[in-house]
Amino acid sequence: MIALSKRSQLAVGLVLVLLMAMTRGTHFSLVNLPSASWAVFFLAGVFLRPRWAFPVLFLQAVVMDVLSVGWINAGHHCMTVAYWALLPAYGSLWFAGRLYAGWHRDHPVTLLVLAPTVATAALVCNLFSSGGFYFFSGRFEETSFGGLVERIATYYPQYLSNLAMYVAAAAIVYLVFYLLAEQGLLGQDRKA
């Protein structure tokens, strides 16, 4: 199980907030990274113990989205009742992160658990987010199961690759800090 000190969790939480702020929407034109939102929710589930971390991150996402389309432009293409499907979508990522945190072992074999957990979490998230938009946004004349499958086939690979990229980067950073701690170069701050 991954157990970080409160100080380390605070640092990780701040990094996740900044990462989402820098990559969600077009707020920072100098940063041209794919959205890290899915990874932020998954990694928050992995590393942050307080349950209130999820609603805080969700509120950040909502505020950023509302600010990006403006209060007046509430009729923006994505701002429909289907927007609220992001709640269970991001919740599924956070929950998968919590599950993985319990399954994690500081051993390379843990990657055999991490990879399918990330892939499954991305699929469930995509079902909620893309499916919610498809069925409830009112943007599609006719909806069908086949149409949903087509949307999943279109969007899932890109979202999965973005999520996997950020999770892989986080795994590398975690490994570096783990090895430094094992060598006694970081002190005893790693465990709570």
Read off the pLDDT of residues 9-49 as tens digits, 9 standing for 90 and up. Answer: 999 999 999 999 999 876 555 567 899 999 999 999 999 99
The pTM score is: 0.89
Q: Is residue 173's pLDDT more than 60?
A: yes
Mean pLDDT score, 154-182: 93
The whole-angstrom separation of Cα 65 and Cα 48 is 23
CA–CA–CA angle 175, 102, 53 (5° rounding): 85
What pLDDT score does 68 carry?
Answer: 76
Higher pLDDT, 30 or 80: 80
Average pLDDT, the chain: 87
CA–CA–CA angle 64, 159, 31 (5° rounding): 50
Residue 61 CA, distance from chain mean position: 11
Question: Which pLDDT band holds residue 90 (cuts at 50, 70, 90)?
Answer: very high
The whole-angstrom separation of Cα 110 and Cα 125 is 22
Q: Is residue 73's pLDDT more than 50?
A: yes
**Exposure string over 158-183, b if 16+ CB within 10 A, otherwise e:** ebbebbbebbeebbeebeebeeeeee
